[in-house]
Amino acid sequence: MTRNHRRWHAWLWLLLGPLIVAGFVVGLLARPSPVFEPARFSDPEEAKKSDTKPQPREVVP
């Protein structure tokens, strides 16, 4: 490698390295929190409501 290329390489990693690590960390922080669904029809009242709920229409793109 030429001296110039080594310099370019070093500067690129000095800039890109922290950027990649920061992107990774920020990406992880933005992870959606896990959704816990309640057990279906555990409550008889809820089950009754569910039966009467209108079903969503199927959307064809």
Partner 1 sequence: MSIRYAAVKWNRNKRIYDCVLAAGIVLYLGLFFLVGKLAWEGRPGISDEVLLIRALGTCAFLLLHVVLCIGPLARFDRRFLPLLYNRRHLGVATFTVGLFHGALATGYYHAFGRLNPLVSLLSTNTHYDSLTTFPFETLGVLALVILFLMAATSHDFWLKNLSPSVWKALHMLVYPAYGLLVMHVTLGALHSEDSMVYVVLVGLGVTTVVGLHLAAGWRERLRDRRQPGPEEKSNGERWIEVCSVDEIPENRAKVVCLDGCERVAVFRYGGRISAVTNVCAHQRGPLGEGKIIDGCITCPWHGWEYRPENGQSPPPFQERIATFRVRVKGRRILLDLHPLPPGTPVEPARIEEPLHDRTRANAE
Binding residues for partner 1 (CB under 8 A): 1-3, 5-6, 8-10, 12-14, 16-21, 23-24, 26-28, 30-32, 34, 61
**Least gap, CB of 58 to partner 1 (angstroms):** 13
Residue written as token pair 């009467």:
52
Minimum CB distance to partner 1 smaller for 1 or for 39: 1
- Phi first, then psi: what are they for 28, rounded to 5°? -70, -40
Residues with Cβ within 8 Å of 9's Cβ and at least 6 positions away in sequence, in order, are 1
**Least gap, CB of 60 to partner 1 (angstroms):** 8
Instruction: Please give the DSSP secondary-structure letter assigned to residue 53.
Output: S
